[in-house]
Amino acid sequence: MSEKTAKKFDISKHTGLLSSLIAIIGGLVFAFLVLILTNPSKGVAAFTTLITGGFQLGGMQNLGTLFYFATPILCTGVAMCVAFQAGIFNIGGPGQYSVGALAAILTSLYLSKNFPGPLAWIVPLIVATIAGAAWALIPGILKAYFNVNVVIGTIMFNYIEMYYMMHWINDYCYDAMKGQTRAVPSQCKLPQWFMPAITSNRSADIGILVAILVAILAWVLMEKTQLGYELKACGKNPEASRYAGIRSKRNIMISILLSGALCGLGGGLTHLSVSGTYITMKEALAAEGFNGIAVCCLANNSPLGAILGALFLAFLTVGGNYMQIYGFQREIVSVITSVIIYFAAFSLFLKLYLEKLLNRQKKEMNKVTGEELK
Amino acid sequence: MEKTENIIEFRHITKRFPGIIACNDISLDIHKGEIHALLGENGAGKSTLMSVLFGMYTPEEGTISIRGKEVKITNPRVATELGIGMVHQHFKLVQNYTVLQNIVLGSETLKGPFLDMYTCRKKVIELSQKYGLAIDPDALIENITVGQQQRCEILKMLYREAEILIFDEPTAVLTPQEIDELMDIMKGLAREGHTILFISHKLEEIKRVSDRVTILRRGKLVKTLNAADTTTTQMGELMVGREVSFHVDKKPAEPGEEVLKVEHLTMINDETKKKVVNDVSFSVRKGEIVAIAGIDGNGQSELIYGLTGIMPINEGTISINGEDYTRRSIREKNMVMSHIPEDRHKFGLILDYPLSYNLALKNYFKPDFVSKTGFLKFKKFDSYADELIDKFDIRSGQGRITMARSMSGGNQQKAIVAREIDQNADLLVAVQPTRGLDVGAIEFIHKQLVEQRDEGKAVLLMSFELDEVMDVADRVLVMFEGEIMGNLDPKKVSVEEMGLYMAGVKREEKQA
Amino acid sequence: MEMLYFICRYFMYFFIPLLVVSVSGMFSERSGIIHMGLDSVMVWSCMWGVLCLQWLDGVVEGQMRLIIALLFAGIMGIVLTLLLAVAAINLNADQTIVGMAMNTFAPAFCVFFARVLQDGSEHLSIRNDFLIEKIPVLGDIPVLGEMFFTRTYITNFIGIVIFIISAIVLNKTRFGLRMCACGENPQAAESLGVNVQKYRYAALIIAGFIGGMGGLMYILPVATHYSQTVGGYGYLAMSVLIFGQWRSLSLFGAAAFFAFCKTIANAYSGIPFLANLGLPSAFFKSLPFIITLVALAFTSKHDRAPKASGQPYDKSMR
């Protein structure tokens, strides 16, 4: 790309980033008000803990925790970016994520624990990925071939997953003593490599590295390849894509399966983590799935931006957990997340408004040249 | 003329849109009881001026006086209270409401807390009889013809007791016969004391119906004339600012072998189960331009959708160069058929893709543009875009990286034309290729179509503009209610006769 | 016969909130605004309704306590729905994303808030003394009396009244005519002097009020405490709306159909034939969701959705 191109893209990125920042600030301000109003004496301290990610309390080992929280929401966030860019509003993250998690657990318990070396953890990850995609298959078919609203389709599958999950856990991997899924065999857990050293956290593993790699691959796919060109074309104008001979049904399937696969992978990575994660016997949708939407909104649908978005939300989550020592509930992080999504919903409006503010002078100039062109 | 009481006085009206001054210091008087035409090209500012009068836009500068009193028309409600009504170019009707519901919407009569449709209906029927606007008040808008929809719009104004009636390009969607009827209605309304403002770019009509005509060009008022004292040529010159040739220069066609052959094509609407295209057969040969004419909504669009594969067909065959293409995919059809689509925003462009991506929309998957591993070759995208931009003079703010959305309509259309012509396919399907463009761009596109023909391509042109059809085509197929009514030679048929075919009154026995 | 009465009562417990909340969605969508946040409105207003019940404990007694709480829940429903209104009407927001934001916000905030109020526990208990054993006269009608007028809640009748009024408002009044025009063709409405923004605000305020009451109506018969969930009822209501094609009467039928499925799902263990099938409870619990999808698969090809719904309406657009 020429110099001119690079310059132009900088400006548009600038306002995009700015609107993300406004969303974040909006969320934080709202959280601050809620904290102050609920407990005026401890509110400020709790808020400080929240926005410093608890680092002054937990020290560097928090970096490992941060990565641990960032891994699943990065995967689901990238999953949403891919789907949203293709115009598919996949809300099925929670279901796809949990099914992936269960698939990874079951595979490691029953199949891969005797596999040699890295296969012991690679195979469950692959199965998790496939399982996530499989959970997105029917909503995809319903959308592509029966025109069923994809939001409704994926939501329904979330609830179906929620009810069946307990049934499956109960039948195949229930640890009655702890009321949760059985522990994954240690040889099936993710390797740690150099991660404990750089995060000074004994249970840090390579999960975050895999997630970042996936984000980069997704970005390359969307920006540099023929498939990405087609997927984005379908997202931006499905009719024109059809006119150009792009098979829209196939693309709907590809994007939703890809999205489901990424969610499934997120579930697998989290539940094979060294720190150990379990599914509890509770009728609830996995928050990691919904948080992917927030990550994606923060990132303006860019898989690369999702890396930053996921790290930021994870940072808040760590802070939110520390905040509990002041007697505040960590749900405040979800509240912030929701405010961020809310702002993202009209980010286009914000962006246009900001552009108007920032480039008022420039616009005047454009107007003159525009008239000359006419 | 003795009636010189001014009912409307525009003074120094200026209205700006981002990047353009739509109305530039316009001052104009409208006499009570006259039919006053506003003439100008697309983008000359006539619709904007009327929208200002109707309260849909607020002007930055200038004042409007109605019946000698200065008024601020901030929204359509105020305009309605002042007795101003408007028939918009694109009808503002709620499709799944009845005619009656559409008419009363916004000025309903109530009985207690409920709607009193009985009284409303009586009033509507009275009005429709008084002004000769026959219509079924209980028909759903989506089930009636465009002409009837227009009557519904007129009734809407009369129902509100409007005295000043604005017609925005009312004839664009009508048959010549329906146009005659409308002209009579307008004259009748003027006799009853209504003042009529009539926007058009069709010189003949203006000459026929209006008392005075005001010509606008690029947002500025050029001149106001008495229609009786002027000629269409003079008006045309003033409108464009130079002498215009209303005729496309072209040699006689030398048709070669058949490229497209359509046999017994039938398409059925899924919802209404109506045959929107009914047993249509025709062919297009190398080196000729065949036009499909007709009033909007008689199956032309569906026929094109069926041909190009956007909509499924129920019966019949399509063959191209002797090969059967009936069941081929859109992509396969695209390889032998270029298609300038009807709606450039819906089909032609991906507005949030840069120009270079849009220009490659039909090519991006070819080996030149993508590597074997699936990676796009951006260098090729760029060089190809620059080549087309250069060849077809596509103007945009930042060249190939301009987002299609920020380009002007004319240049968007040029980009599509460039892309499709460069496909170098044997068959070029052009649907409404000049819709909404100014004279310069129209000339350019007509020239391109003729050039394609002369290079030995088969060209299928679909247009609602009768002038365009008569000028450009070598052969005209007229469609009415899904059927082809005639296969005509535009040099041997008059516009009036064409109108009879378009209205379904006349039908040719032998088919093409 | 006992079985029939049992099923019938169960049916009403599920039918009424589903009907009411889908009516709420109908107001929003017929005015042109997609309401993905129905679930959040239910969760949120349900909490306020339950809190109101607690506050009124000992102050007001009997059905009055319930009615005041319902009104309060409705008002809080308006408060939350105004978030959607501002974003969608004034800020041209993507309405689906706003809905998702609301759906993220409500459960999280309600957990947070409940825990703050009660020092750690998120479950709010409900003292439910609203069950009406038998309505005089009506309860004595053979069969029908047993089915609908004994062991019932006042909310059942309020729900039916809401439905009837809403059907009349939409189809027989000036407000309905204008509001629906805003959802079909806002440009047309505006050109006739209808203030589209005003009507959309009005529609969303009504939607918020009805949806808020629906939240409390849902929880009363089926739970003894509130735990920040309404079992996906908001989403089911949206499906009912699509299945009912955005029209009052079909909506009634669609809600009845879904409520029936939900009744089967919850009462199957009491129905010998179904209990003996040996299917896991998960199957019955997810049955309404599965059936929703099957039903939608058959009805979604040609929908009669309001044409302008979901599109930001920009006055300045030509």
Distance, in Å, from the CA atom of B93 to the CA atom of B155, rounded to the nearest integer, reads: 12
Give the separation between CA B503 and CA B497, rounded to whole angstroms: 10
pLDDT score recorded for residue C122: 82
What is the tally of structural domains in chain C?
Answer: 1
> How far apart are the C-alpha atoms of A146 and B296, rounded to whole Å?
30
pLDDT at C154: 92
pLDDT score of B66 more than 70: yes
Beta pairing partners, B324: B319
* CATH number at B258-502: 3.40.50.300
Residue A355 to residues A11, A12, C273: CA-CA distances in angstroms? 9, 9, 66
> What is the β-pairing status of strands B275-285 and B212-217?
unpaired
Selected for mutation to probe chain B from A219, A237, A247, A367 (highest B CB count within 10 Å) is A237
Task: Nearest by CB to C184, from B80, B94, B107: name it.
Answer: B94
Confidence of residue B512 (pLDDT cuts 50, 70, 90): very low
CATH level 3 topology of B6-240 = Rossmann fold (3.40.50)
E-strand spans in C79-209?
A: 124-125, 132-134, 150-152
Q: Find, among B482, B489, B488, the residue nearest to B508 by Cα.
A: B488
3-state secondary structure of B94: coil
Which residue, B303, B91, B293, B47, is CA-closest to B175? B293
The pLDDT of residue B175: 75
Cα(B124)–Cα(B99) distance, integer angstroms: 10
**Look-up of token digits 């399937």:** A253
How much is the pLDDT for C265?
Answer: 84
As to burial, measured by CB atoms within 10 angstroms (0-12 exposed, 13-18 middle, 19+ buried), residue B63 is middle
Tokens for B475, please give them: 């052969």
Instruction: Judge whether residue B326 has pLDDT over 60.
Output: yes
- Is residue C118 a part of any domain in this protein? yes
CB atoms within 10 A of CB A116: 8
* Extended strands (E) in A150-197: 174-175, 180-181
How far, in Å, CA of B80 to CA of C227, rounded? 54
Please tell me if residue A7 touches chain B, with a CB cutoff of 8 Å: no
Contact A93/C at CB under 8 A: no
Q: Does B350 touch chain C (CB under 8 A)?
A: no
pLDDT band with cut points at 50, 70 and 90 for residue B244: low
Question: Counting beta carbons within 10 angstroms of the beta carbon of residue C197, is it exposed (0 to 12), middle (13 to 18) or buried (19 or more)?
Answer: middle
pLDDT digits 0-9 by tens, B275-319: 899 999 999 999 999 999 987 778 899 999 999 999 999 999 999
Pairing status of strand C150-152 against strand C132-134:
antiparallel
Contacts of C286 in chain A (CB under 8 A): 159-160, 163-164
* B275, B446 Cβ separation under 8 angstroms: no
CB pairs under 8 A between A and C: 130
Structure token digits, residue C283: 């199957």
- pLDDT value of position A360: 64
| Average pLDDT, integer, range B339-360 | 92
Could you tell me which residue, A261 or B511, shows the higher pLDDT? A261
Distance CA C254, CA B435 (A): 45
| CA A271 from centroid of its chain's CA atoms | 16
Closest listed residue to residue B450, CA positions, set B432, B418, B431, B474: B474
Q: Give CA separation, A196 vs A274, B164, B222, B445, in Å.
A: 11, 81, 79, 67
Q: Is residue B405 very low, low, confident or very high in pLDDT (cuts 50, 70, 90)? A: confident
CA-CA distance, C69 to C101, in Å (whole number)? 26
Residue C38: which residues within 8 A CB-CB, separation 6 or more? C21, C24, C25, C99, C211, C234, C235, C237, C238
The enclosing domain of C274 has a CATH number of 1.10.3470
pLDDT interval class at B53 (50, 70, 90): very high
- In sequence order, the β-bridge partners of residue B403 are B354
| Partner B contacted by A147 (CB < 8 A) | no
Which contiguous run of DSSP H or E holds residue B498? helix B495-502
Q: Do C91 and A159 touch (CB under 8 A)?
A: no
Local confidence band at C317 (pLDDT 50, 70, 90 cut-offs): very low
Single-letter code of the amino acid located at B201:
H
Q: Any alpha helices (H) in A39-149, and if so which ranges? A: 40-51, 55-58, 62-85, 93-110, 119-146
Asked if B412 and B346 count as a contact pair (C-beta separation under 8 A), the reply is: no
How many Å lie between the alpha carbon of A163 and the closest alpha carbon of chain B?
38
- The shortest C-alpha distance from C70 to chain B (Å) reads 26
Residue of A nearest to C232 (CA): A159
Domain segments of chain A: what residues? 62-311
Per cent of chain C over pLDDT 90 is 52
Over range B62-80, report the average pLDDT. 90
Confirm whether the ipTM is greater than 0.90.
no
Predicted pLDDT of residue A150: 92
Sort out which chain C residues have CB atoms less than 8 A from B114's CB and list them: 172-173
- Per-residue pLDDT at B42 exceeds 80: no
Can you give the pLDDT at residue B210?
Answer: 92
In terms of residues, how long is chain B?
Answer: 512
Q: What burial class does residue A281 get, using C-beta atoms within 10 Å of its C-beta: 0-12 exposed, 13-18 middle, 19+ buried? A: middle
Q: Using CB atoms, which chains have 3+ pairs under 8 A with A?
A: B, C
Q: Positive or negative CA dihedral for B201, B204, B205, B211?
A: positive
Query: Looking at chain B, which residues constitute the CATH 3.40.50.300 domain(s)?
Result: 6-240, 258-502
Q: Tokens representing B462? A: 């679909």
Q: Nearest to residue A144, comparing CAs of A58, A202, A60, A86? A: A86
Per the model's pLDDT, the better-predicted residue between B495 and C111 turns out to be C111
Chain C environment of B80 (Cβ under 8 Å): 192-193
Is residue B3 over pLDDT 60? no
User: What residues of C are in the B interface, CB distance below 8 Å?
Assistant: 172-174, 177-178, 180-181, 184-185, 187-194, 302, 304, 307, 316
Nearest to C173 among B57, B86, B114 (CB): B114
**Distance (Å, whole) CA B64 – CA B20:** 22
Kindly state the helix (H) or strand (E) to which residue B220 belongs, with its residue range: strand B220-226
> Which residues in A lie closer than 8 A to residue C101 (C-beta atoms)?
338-339, 341-342, 344-345
Give the separation between CA A141 and CA A150, rounded to whole angstroms.
10
Closest CA to B171 of B186, B156, B161, B157: B186
Note whether B142 and B272 are within 8 A (CB).
no
Residues sharing a CB contact under 8 Å with residue B214, sequence separation 6 or more, in sequence order: B28, B36, B37, B38, B39, B221, B223, B224, B225
Would an 8 Å CB–CB cutoff place A325 in contact with chain C? no
For the domain covering A62-311, report its CATH number: 1.10.3470
Q: CB–CB of B20 and A370 under 8 A?
A: yes
More confident: A98 or B175: A98
Name chain C contacts of A102, Cβ cutoff 8 Å: none
**Contact in structure between A136 and A256 (CB atoms under 8 Å):** yes
Instruction: Give the DSSP per-residue string, B239-292.
Output: HHSS----S---PPP---SEEEEEEEEEEE-TTT--EEEEEEEEEEETT-EEEE
Instruction: Give strand pairing partners of B258.
Output: B285
Q: Taking a C-beta distance cutoff of 8 angstroms, is the pair C181, C308 a contact?
A: no
Which among A224, A229, A243 is the nearest to B364, CB-wise?
A229
Q: Give the pLDDT confidence score for residue A2 in this predicted structure.
A: 41
Which of B410, B412, B408 has the alpha carbon at shortest distance from B19?
B408
Which residues lie across from B461 on neighbouring strands?
B291, B430
Residue C199 belongs to domain spanning: 2-299
Task: Tell me the chain B residues in contact with residue C300 when contact means C-beta distances shorter than 8 Å.
Answer: none
Tokens standing for B290?
A: 């065949």
Confidence check: pLDDT of B201 > 90: no
Q: CB of A241 within 8 Å of any CB in chain B?
A: yes
Which stretches of chain A drop beneath a pLDDT of 50? Answer: 1-12, 363, 367-374
Extended beta strands in chain A, E state: 174-175, 180-181
C177, C192, C195, best to mutate vs chain B, most B CBs in 10 Å:
C192
* Predicted pLDDT of residue B473: 93
B74 reaches C (C-beta below 8 A) = no
The partner residues of B167 in beta bridges, in order of sequence, read: B87, B198
- C38-56 vs C63-85: helix crossing angle, rounded to 10: 140
Residues of B in contact with A6 (CB under 8 A): none
Farthest CA pair distance, chain A = 79
Q: Do B398 and A247 touch (CB under 8 A)?
A: no
The three-class DSSP label of residue B430 is strand
B50, B92, B98, B142, best to mutate vs chain C, most C CBs in 10 Å: B92
Please indicate, yes or no, whether the overall pTM of this predicted structure exceeds 0.90: no
Q: Does A175 touch chain C (CB under 8 A)?
A: no
Exposed e or buried b for every residue in B284-296, given b needs 16+ CB within 10 A? bbbbbbbbbbbbe
**Neighbors of chain B with 3 or more C-beta pairs under 8 Å:** A, C
Q: Which residues of C touch B107 (CB under 8 A)?
A: 192-193
DSSP result, B26-48:
EEEEEETT-EEEEE--TTSSHHH
Tens-place pLDDT, residues C207-258:
999 999 999 999 998 888 898 888 888 988 998 998 888 999 999 999 999 8
Interface contact B271, partner C, CB < 8 A: yes
| The pLDDT of residue B408 | 78
Q: Do B114 and C177 touch (CB under 8 A)?
A: no
Partner residue opposite B331 with nearest CB, options A225, A233, A245: A245
* A217-256 residues touching C, CB cutoff 8 A: none
- Tell me if chain B has a CB within 8 Å of the CB of A227: yes
Most confident range, picked from B496-500, C17-21, C123-127, C134-138: C17-21
User: For chain C, which chains pass the contact test of at least 3 CB pairs under 8 Å?
Assistant: A, B
Q: How many residue pairs bridge chain B and chain C with CB atoms within 8 Å of each other?
A: 65
pLDDT for B381 equals: 96
Pull the structure tokens for residue B452.
């394609």
Of B182, B191, B221, B160, the closest CA to residue B23 belongs to B221
pLDDT, one tens digit per residue, over C84-134 is: 999 999 998 889 899 989 999 999 999 988 988 887 788 888 888 888 888
